[in-house]
């Protein structure tokens, strides 16, 4: 009798295993959360010290156009206007997303609706190959091919937002395409069948039913692509010219948050104004990527297909 009781109340081997598994996964998760939190804390504490320690006005930082952190401007404040970089970053991001989207949708429609077999066999691997190319290679191609072509056609030096847009367009294309493919695939089969049964042609079905139903997914894909474009540093740095000037046209040298950040971080000393403002740029990047994340979540929530 005693034996049976003990047998029943004692933890079984299975439950021990389960507990062990839970401990492992919990500790992994908590480490990840800790890392993310400490990154946030570190970037924020460094980035905010521009405003709290060096007493730079937030509005001067966000909307000023003079960037020369080592120098003191006429108002006695360091010249840390980040607007040229902010404008540069947003312009290349939006332009490249605008160019990439139609191509991505076209490729995805081909792969899912028009020729799934060829699409899966040929087009998909080709597009996915683009992901594996390191960004320095894109930058170099941009520098030696795109920049001279732009110079020949539009004049100027060729460096600028336009060159950056073309490089980023190729870089985000695979992200947007593969995610659009997933969105199209997720459209239920009965939608298509119902449309065809009503007598719609294939094009009508694709245009009026499949694409419409996949809009939230496609938007998510585009925002993902934009997040990637916004954070890209190396390739864009090689073709945009890195001049901290307000861009006056698409073919004059400009700069992005990332390009100024990567160029400056090695040449500044921790704790100085020059270094702190770079962390502030990093903070903007971090906040922007959080915003992109929130947008993606909102789209996904709103557009979740109801069964």
Partner 1 sequence: MKKKIVGLFILSFTIILSGCSQWIDRGESVTAVGSSALQPLVETVAEEFQQDQPGKFVNVQGGGSGTGLSQVQNGSVDIGNSDMFAEEKSGVDASELVDHRVAVIGITPVVNKEVGVEELSKEELKQIFLGDITNWQEVGGNDQEIVILNRATGSGTRDTFEKWVLDDENAISSQEQESSGMVRQIVSDTPGAISYLAFSYVTEDVDVLAMDGVEPTDENVKTNNWPIWSYEHMYTRGEPTGLTKEFMDYILSDGVQEELVGQLGYIPVSQMEVERDANGDIVE
Q: Are 282 and 43 in contact (CB under 8 A)?
A: yes
Please identify, using beta-carbon distances, which residue of 265 and 298 lies nearer to partner 1: 265
* Binding-site size, partner 1 (CB under 8 A): 34
* CB 294 to partner 1: min, Å: 33
Stretch of 47-55, 113-121, 207-215, 240-248 contacting partner 1, by CB under 8 A = 240-248
The binder of partner 1 chosen from 151, 185, 196, 286 (CB under 8 A): 151
* CB 118 to partner 1: min, Å: 40
C-alpha triplet 156, 160, 166: angle, nearest 5°: 115
Instruction: Give the DSSP per-residue string, 249-286.
Output: STTS-B--HHHHHHHHHTTS-TTSHHHHHHHHHHHHHH
* Binding track over 241-280 against partner 1, x by CB under 8 A: xxxxx-------x-x------xxx-xxxxxxx-xx-----
For residue 68, the surrounding DSSP H or E stretch is: strand 67-72
Please identify, using beta-carbon distances, which residue of 96 and 242 lies nearer to partner 1: 242
Please identify, using beta-carbon distances, which residue of 84 and 231 lies nearer to partner 1: 84
115, 206, 217, 219 from 210: Cα distances, Å = 15, 5, 11, 14
Q: Are 218 and 100 in contact (CB under 8 A)?
A: no
Q: Which of 254, 245, 83, 261 is closest to 165 using CA atoms?
A: 254
* Binding track over 155-194 against partner 1, x by CB under 8 A: --xxx-----------------------------------
Residue 148 found at the interface with partner 1 (CB under 8 A): yes
Please identify, using beta-carbon distances, which residue of 13 and 306 lies nearer to partner 1: 13
The binder of partner 1 chosen from 221, 238, 277, 285 (CB under 8 A): 238
Residue 289 found at the interface with partner 1 (CB under 8 A): no
Please identify, using beta-carbon distances, which residue of 115 and 268 lies nearer to partner 1: 268
Q: Which of 141, 171, 166 is closest to 153 using CA atoms?
A: 166
* CB 261 to partner 1: min, Å: 11
Stretch of 86-94, 111-119, 143-151, 294-302 contacting partner 1, by CB under 8 A = 143-151
User: Distance (Å, rounded) from C-alpha 224 to C-alpha 111?
Assistant: 20
The binder of partner 1 chosen from 47, 64, 69, 78 (CB under 8 A): 69
For residue 293, the surrounding DSSP H or E stretch is: helix 273-303
Buried residues in 146-172 as b, exposed as e (16+ CB within 10 A): bbeebbeeeeeebbbbbbbbbbbbbbb
Q: Which residues bind partner 1 (CB under 8 A)?
A: 67-71, 143-144, 147-148, 151, 157-159, 237-238, 241-245, 253, 255, 262-264, 266-272, 274-275
């Amino acid at each position: 009798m005693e034996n049976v009781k003990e047998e029943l109340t004692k933890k079984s081997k299975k439950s021990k295993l389960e507990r062990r598994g839970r401990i492992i996964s919990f500790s992994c998760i908590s480490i990840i959360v800790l890392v993310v939190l400490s990154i946030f804390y570190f970037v924020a504490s460094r980035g905010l010290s521009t405003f709290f320690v060096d007493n730079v006005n937030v509005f001067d930082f966000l909307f000023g156009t003079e960037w020369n952190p080592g120098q003191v401007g006429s108002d006695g404040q360091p010249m840390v206007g980040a607007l040229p970089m902010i404008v540069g970053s947003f312009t290349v991001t939006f332009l490249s997303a605008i160019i990439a989207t139609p191509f991505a949708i076209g490729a995805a429609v081909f792969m899912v609706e028009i020729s799934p077999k060829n699409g899966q066999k040929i087009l998909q691997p080709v597009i996915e190959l683009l992901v594996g190319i390191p960004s320095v290679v894109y930058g170099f191609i941009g520098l030696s091919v795109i920049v001279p072509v732009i110079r020949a056609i539009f004049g100027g030096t060729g460096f600028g937002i336009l060159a950056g847009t073309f490089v980023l367009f190729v870089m985000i294309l695979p992200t947007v395409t593969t995610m659009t493919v997933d969105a199209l695939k997720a459209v239920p089969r009965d939608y298509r069948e119902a449309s065809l049964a009503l007598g719609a042609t294939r094009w009508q079905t694709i245009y009026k039913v499949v694409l419409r139903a996949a809009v939230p997914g496609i938007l998510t894909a585009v925002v993902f692509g934009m997040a990637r474009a916004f954070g890209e540093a190396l390739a864009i740095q090689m073709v945009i010219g890195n001049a901290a000037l307000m861009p006056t046209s698409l073919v004059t040298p400009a700069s992005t948050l990332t390009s100024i950040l990567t160029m400056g971080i090695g040449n500044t000393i921790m704790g100085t104004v020059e270094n702190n403002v770079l962390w502030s740029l990093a903070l903007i990047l971090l906040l922007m990527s959080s915003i992109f994340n929130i947008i993606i979540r909102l789209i996904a929530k709103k557009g979740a297909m109801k069964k």
